[in-house]
């Protein structure tokens, strides 16, 4: 049987052995596809959790830097005022 005829027989489902092999192949391909989808989902969930933690850490860092900026500005203003007063006196 040539390849063309074998393929036609397979497509029509006339050869039981070929049909069984095709069904098995399709089942295995679906199972592998399902495994890949599950792995992708697990990786996506892990990445999302990491992103949420990074966002919280970044927000905490920004707040801390803001407090440090306010504190240094306040200290600069106080020390600058002291210099100006000492220059006046």
pTM over 0.75: no
With contact defined as beta carbons under 8 Å apart, do 15 and 9 qualify?
A: yes
Task: Give residue-wise pLDDT tens across range 26-83.
Answer: 999 999 999 999 999 999 999 999 999 999 999 999 999 888 877 776 665 666 556 5
Alpha helices in the chain (DSSP H): 3-12, 16-88
């Amino acid at each position: 049987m040539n390849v063309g005829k074998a393929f036609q027989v397979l497509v029509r489902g006339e050869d039981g052995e070929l049909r069984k092999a095709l069904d098995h192949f399709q089942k295995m391909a679906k199972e592998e596809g399902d495994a890949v989808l599950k792995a992708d989902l697990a990786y996506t969930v892990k990445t999302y959790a990491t992103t949420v933690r990074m966002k919280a850490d970044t927000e905490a860092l920004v707040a801390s830097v803001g407090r440090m900026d306010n504190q240094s500005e306040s200290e600069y203003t106080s020390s600058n005022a002291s210099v100006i007063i000492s220059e006046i006196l």
